[in-house]
Amino acid sequence: MSARFVVGIDLGTTHCALASAPLDDEKARPAILPIAQLVAPGTIEPKPLLPSFVYFAHESEGAQALPWDAARTFVVGEHARARGADAPARVIASAKSWLVHPSVDRRSGILPQGAPDDVEKISPVEASWRLLEHLSEAWDAEHAGAPLAEQEVILTVPASFDAGARELTVEAALAAGIEKLTLLEEPQAALYAWIDAMGDAWRKELRPGDVVLVVDIGGGTSDFSAIAAIEREGSLELVRVAVGDHILLGGDNMDLALAHVARAKLEAQGKEIDRWQMAALVHACRAAKERLLGDAKGDTAPIALGARGAKLVGGALRTELTRAEVTATIVDGFFPDVPPTARPVVRARAALTQLGLPYASDAAITKHLAAFLGRQAGALATLEGFAAANHGDARDRTPTLLHPTAILFNGGVLKADAIRARLVATLGAWLAADGAPPARVLDASDLDLGVARGAAAYGLARRGRGVRIRGGTARAYYVGIESAVPAVPGVEPPITAMCVAPFGMEEGTDASLPPHELGAVVGEPVRFRFFGSTTRREDKPGALLERWKDGELEELAPIEVTLPAEGRREGDVVPVRIRASVTDVGTLLVEAVPLSPNKPDERWRIELSVRGG
């Protein structure tokens, strides 16, 4: 069967959404499909957002029936999130963030952490699979005769996802029965959504020479990308030139910070807050934040919390948050006015090995932004059209940060005018100090659902109905080779990084085979250290780096290959070369190619993202 729809899926850290457009209608634009989900026991409701929570019901609760499965034992969506406050040990939240956790085995059953014995724990990959499966089933229930497995699906991932996390996402999607799959970076999807909403007018808003900074602050993560507009052969092209790090910091952190402020005020009145009330307090604080940071009316927002029992009157707690408190906690706390040289406080590497999500240790998003723009100051140096423009103008010093000319916001947090204003002002000050003009704001129409819509719009663009963003892989990848030097106690042998995949590899292309060989032992797993770089754009496959600047290379989870014994003796060392390619889906494929093959085209796939440490 050929596809009848193009479907965009935003698999978010806190929420998922799905948009689709029929392929047989030239004028059709992406539309959001409300996702049927349990919102309370025995109650189904379609909602535009599917909260990314998985709840394992206790035996005593009976089946958690869905219209398409009467015997289900787990819940995905709104009811699962609500149960997170009642029975937290049975709920998986932020499944997506676990996919990028470098030091856990992402294919082993570790979630929910600390679950009671009757819960059969699942892997981070399976948790994402359950979310995607729910979306897939909800789609199928609405589209008889056009199951999702037959549609063209665009699944979004954070731009900061490395090759391993992308592959695990694809693994989850395939398990959920999504077959015709392509990955797309979320900030790119946000820009596609903007282009789709603007219609043809977008070409007036973006001109060659523009650099769009996409600031995407979701519930659990923040993600930055830079996309440049260039002119090639007379037409406008968009190129994604840089992506930021994966920052586990988002709107939920802000609501929680505010809830702690309100809690302190209630406790000062001599009131006690239990876990259940704390969850309600977080909700109330989110509403207060949106109100006080959203419009100018009123300087306080009341916060009222019911007691847990049926006696509501007399037990309800009341306090209020003032505009000053919300501004100090959210705007100054998470978006402090810092100089462009500010950098987030880096946590010691040892802390990363703990079994828990590696949350950002510095809550200041503006510092993360400064670090991104600073690190990517040279991102445009090799881009045609920019190289000349930037060096040719009056400024004779090299820029200390990447200069965006426009900002596109995405994510629910950025609905707040005060936060947007702070980001624009801070960035404006940095640009002014660097002698660059201020960046203008591109109006995003839908901060919550833009990514899903944009993903579907990309699916249409790919079929020739609109402009496409080029860019390829956002990192160069390296294999670590230990140098053969005499061992010195207490000193790690120096490591040489060999480039295997250059920056910016497009989908469906192969990297050239580097000349250097590595040894693989037949019959036993051989591990290599694996590195990525978001800044080294010039390294060709085979390039050897003996030293690099601090922060230039980031160590990823190791990669592993096991050579089967077919036609070779176990224990033999086989010289191999490493070849990388990017699949049509958008994942990196790394293979070991023997120097003396036993059969034509012999090669072995190297597993990415095996457990670290």
User: Which residue is associated with the tokens 């109006």?
Assistant: 443
Q: Quick check: helix, strand or coil at residue 525?
A: strand
Quick one: which of 22, 31, 43, 89 contacts other proteins (CB under 8 A)?
A: 43
Quick one: which of 29, 45, 265, 322 contacts other proteins (CB under 8 A)?
A: 45
Residue 388 in contact with other proteins, rule: CB under 8 A = no
560, 593, 606 from 525: Cα distances, Å: 6, 16, 10
Region binding other proteins by CB under 8 A among candidate stretches 55-63, 185-193, 406-414, 567-575: 55-63
Instruction: Quickly count: other Cβ atoms within 10 Å of residue 303's Cβ.
Output: 22
Q: Name which of 278 and 593 has its Cβ closer to other proteins.
A: 278
Residue 495 in contact with other proteins, rule: CB under 8 A = no
How far, in Å, CA of 478 to CA of 560, rounded?
A: 14
Q: Name which of 177 and 306 has its Cβ closer to other proteins.
A: 306
Region binding other proteins by CB under 8 A among candidate stretches 59-67, 235-243, 433-441, 462-470: 59-67
Residue 311 in contact with other proteins, rule: CB under 8 A = yes
Q: Name which of 303 and 369 has its Cβ closer to other proteins.
A: 303
Cβ atoms 39, 77 nearer than 8 A: yes
Quick one: which of 63, 351, 389, 433 contacts other proteins (CB under 8 A)?
A: 63
Bridge partners, residue 580, by sequence: 590
> Min. distance of Cβ 258 from other proteins in angstroms?
16
How far, in Å, CA of 226 to CA of 351, rounded?
A: 30
Task: Say which DSSP state 456 is in.
Answer: H
Q: From start to end of 41-178, where are the E strands?
A: 43-47, 50-51, 54-56, 74-76, 91-92, 152-157
Q: Name which of 98 and 139 has its Cβ closer to other proteins.
A: 139
Residue 92 in contact with other proteins, rule: CB under 8 A = no
User: Which residue is associated with the tokens 């987030």?
Assistant: 344
Residue 127 in contact with other proteins, rule: CB under 8 A = no
> Min. distance of Cβ 30 from other proteins in angstroms?
22
> Diameter of the chain by CA atoms?
82
> Min. distance of Cβ 40 from other proteins in angstroms?
6
Residue 67 in contact with other proteins, rule: CB under 8 A = yes
Q: Name which of 62 and 508 has its Cβ closer to other proteins.
A: 62
Residue 89 in contact with other proteins, rule: CB under 8 A = no
> Min. distance of Cβ 263 from other proteins in angstroms?
16
How far, in Å, CA of 294 to CA of 303, rounded?
A: 17
Residue 552 in contact with other proteins, rule: CB under 8 A = no
Quick one: which of 147, 177, 208, 306 contacts other proteins (CB under 8 A)?
A: 306
Quick one: which of 4, 28, 41, 378 contacts other proteins (CB under 8 A)?
A: 41
Residue 351 in contact with other proteins, rule: CB under 8 A = no
What does residue 175 show for φ and ψ, rounded to 5 degrees?
A: -65, -30
Q: Name which of 62 and 519 has its Cβ closer to other proteins.
A: 62
- Map the footprint of other proteins across residues 266-285, applying CB under 8 A: 284
369: its two tokens: 């932004």
Cβ atoms 451, 410 nearer than 8 A: yes
User: Around 348, how many Cα atoms within 13 Å sit in the side-chain half-sphere?
Assistant: 3
Quick one: which of 22, 31, 62, 519 contacts other proteins (CB under 8 A)?
A: 62
468: its two tokens: 């496409």
Our measurement of the distance from residue 339's CA atom to the centroid of its chain's CA atoms, rounded to an integer in Å, reads 26
DSSP 47-81: ES-EE--EEE--GGG----BTTBTT--EEESHHHH
List the one residue out of 138, 150, 143 whose CA is nearest residue 68: 138
> Min. distance of Cβ 93 from other proteins in angstroms?
21
Residue 61 in contact with other proteins, rule: CB under 8 A = yes
Q: Name which of 35 and 238 has its Cβ closer to other proteins.
A: 35
Q: Are strands 406-410 and 440-442 parallel, antiparallel or unpaired?
A: parallel
Region binding other proteins by CB under 8 A among candidate stretches 17-25, 32-40, 262-270, 604-612: 32-40
Residue 593 in contact with other proteins, rule: CB under 8 A = no
How far, in Å, CA of 387 to CA of 434, rounded?
A: 18
> Min. distance of Cβ 307 from other proteins in angstroms?
9
CA-based torsion, 256, 258, 259, 261: positive or negative:
positive
Residue 316 in contact with other proteins, rule: CB under 8 A = yes
Q: Which residues bind other proteins (CB under 8 A)?
A: 38-45, 59-63, 65-67, 69-71, 86, 284, 287, 302, 304-306, 308, 310-314, 316-318
